[in-house]
Chains A and B, each alone.
Chain A
Amino acid sequence: MLGMPDDIWVPIKLTIELATISTLALLVVATPLAWWLARSKAWFKEAAAAIVSLPMVLPPTVLGFYLLIALGPDGPGGVIASLWGARTLAFTFTGLVIGSIISSMPFVVQPIRNAFAAVGDRPLEVASTLRASPRRAFWTVALPLASPGLLTGAVLGFAHTVGEFGVILMIGGNIPGRTRVMSTAIFDFVETMRWREANLLAGGMVAFAFVVILAMTLLEKRFTRAGA
């Protein structure tokens, strides 16, 4: 494709696949979690929020190390893998998705939680006086009002997964077409002194990061203006 050699193109494709699948899964998991964190009055709420935020502070090597054990034959990953006769979830695309979901979770939960909190009680109370069930109020009132937060969360989750390196290096096994994503491919190119290829991918990453941050800022501006 576009005259690019396979060892450049395949990691790009794989990275986009990984980020897309992880982002969709993240939205499904993070939205109810963020809703609960924003609305619940449970005493352990902030402790749960802190656990979700851990990957933001922990070095990727800590996550990678525990994931390697958790995904392996001695951990829950090995149990799941045994369902289809494999021994481990490490070195698989599924393993990378699990790793990405965990390490990108705080970047998705945080903005969605803030958005839900900003909606406040009032619109939901109004909805309930109009006889909307809580479920309906969530889908037709809270969710649309919080949509800028969801969008921000999705973009951040996608971007963070694209930029994930340490965790993938430690659980991926560097298999072309399966676990060799852009960030690890760049590392490999640098290590093996193929600086032209490294440059090509790294330059692309810089451009991508710039576009993401710019788009985020512009989106935010637009929403604040629309909200004002």
Chain B
Amino acid sequence: MKLIVLETALAAFLTSLVAQAQADVTHVAVAANFTEPAKEIAALFKQKTGHEAVLIFGASGAFYTQITHSAPFEVFLSADAERPKMAVDNGFAAPDSVFTYAIGKLVLWSRVVDVTNGEAALKAGNFQKLSIANPVAAPYGTAAVETMKALGVYDALKPKIVQGNSIAQAFQFVDTRNAELGFIALSQLHGVTAGTRWEVPANLFSPIRQDAVLLKTGANSEASKAFLAFLQGPEAKAIIEQFGYALP
């Protein structure tokens, strides 16, 4: 009798070991603007596959630097197309694993002035501070500068620009009303009703293609590959679209 209990316990223990081996963990570096959809996708991913995706959020530029210094990430969801490509070119990522998972939409948002007609608001310039993400490090910052240049207001507005280190900080400056208005990602306004917004027409800036890539560290990780596959599946795509991104 005792033996049977022991055997059952042993069997249960072994089964749990096997289950653990199958349910893998992957570490995913996620661009700050994709925080919310990534959380939902990771939750669904765990539910469907049993694998766990540990998400690390930050600025794509900082992530790239960390990846080149052997950061323990297996998957990189960048806010641009440039850095995943560089990761492949420089031997930090698996070639042929790059794909566009979302296309970002840029929006002008304010909690102080009316920006429903964003073009007119920018041209009138009745504000003191305009918040953008660092245009050299963050793609949404670059897109903001391109937009202002396309509208011919960049030189006039330049002295009013304040830079957030990431798109999350650009949002923070507008949300705390320290800056009257700012260019942010439409996805950041998911569930936000405050203030007024103007979705920047796509012809004013080059498309913000957000690419994902499998890093060399994850080349043999089942969970990492499964996560990237899941990201391209219909369930993930629905979430991505729902959060205000276009699909490739």
Q: Does A173 contact B (CB under 8 A)?
A: yes
Are B178 and A187 interface neighbours, CB within 8 A?
Answer: no
Chain A positions 43-85 with a Cβ under 8 Å from a chain B Cβ: 68-69, 71-74
Q: Does B136 contact A (CB under 8 A)?
A: yes
Q: Does A190 contact B (CB under 8 A)?
A: yes
Among candidates B131, B137, B179, residue contacting A192 with C-beta atoms closer than 8 Å: B137
Closest to B61 in A: A191
Of B162-170, B184-192, B194-202, the one with at least 4 CB within 8 A of chain A: B162-170
In the bound complex, what is the Cα–Cα distance between A215 and B177 (angstroms)? 44
Among candidates B129, B165, B179, B180, residue contacting A174 with C-beta atoms closer than 8 Å: B165
Given A86-B128, A174-B162, also A191-B62 (CB < 8 A)? yes
Given A88-B129, A188-B137, also A68-B176 (CB < 8 A)? yes
Smallest beta-carbon distance B141→chain A, Å: 10
Q: Does B16 contact A (CB under 8 A)?
A: no
Chain B residues whose CB sits within 8 angstroms of the CB of A71 once the complex forms: 178
Smallest beta-carbon distance B217→chain A, Å: 20
Are A73 and B61 interface neighbours, CB within 8 A?
Answer: no
Smallest beta-carbon distance A215→chain B, Å: 33
Chain A residues whose CB sits within 8 angstroms of the CB of B65 once the complex forms: 190-191, 193
Are A69 and B176 interface neighbours, CB within 8 A?
Answer: yes
Q: Does A12 contact B (CB under 8 A)?
A: no
Chain A positions 75-101 with a Cβ under 8 Å from a chain B Cβ: 86-88, 90-91
In the bound complex, what is the Cα–Cα distance between A187 and B180 (angstroms)? 26
Are A175 and B165 interface neighbours, CB within 8 A?
Answer: no
Q: Does A169 contact B (CB under 8 A)?
A: yes
Closest to B159 in A: A175
Among candidates A72, A174, A190, A192, residue contacting B176 with C-beta atoms closer than 8 Å: A72
Are A192 and B136 interface neighbours, CB within 8 A?
Answer: yes
Chain B residues whose CB sits within 8 angstroms of the CB of A192 once the complex forms: 61, 134, 136-137
In the bound complex, what is the Cα–Cα distance between A68 and B169 (angstroms)? 11
Chain A residues whose CB sits within 8 angstroms of the CB of B129 once the complex forms: 87-88, 91, 173
Q: Does B59 contact A (CB under 8 A)?
A: yes
Q: Does B172 contact A (CB under 8 A)?
A: yes
Chain A residues whose CB sits within 8 angstroms of the CB of B177 once the complex forms: 72-74, 87-88
Q: List 29 A-B contacts (CB under 8 A).
A: A68-B172, A68-B173, A68-B176, A68-B178, A72-B176, A72-B178, A73-B178, A74-B177, A87-B128, A87-B178, A90-B173, A91-B178, A169-B165, A170-B169, A173-B131, A173-B164, A173-B179, A174-B134, A174-B163, A174-B165, A187-B165, A190-B65, A191-B61, A191-B62, A191-B134, A191-B136, A191-B137, A191-B165, A193-B64
Residues in chain B within 8 A of chain A (CB atoms): 59, 61-62, 64-65, 128-129, 131, 134, 136-137, 161-165, 169, 172-173, 176-180
Nearest first, the 10 A-B pairs at minimum CB distance are A173-B162, A174-B163, A191-B61, A90-B178, A191-B137, A72-B178, A192-B136, A88-B178, A91-B162, A73-B177
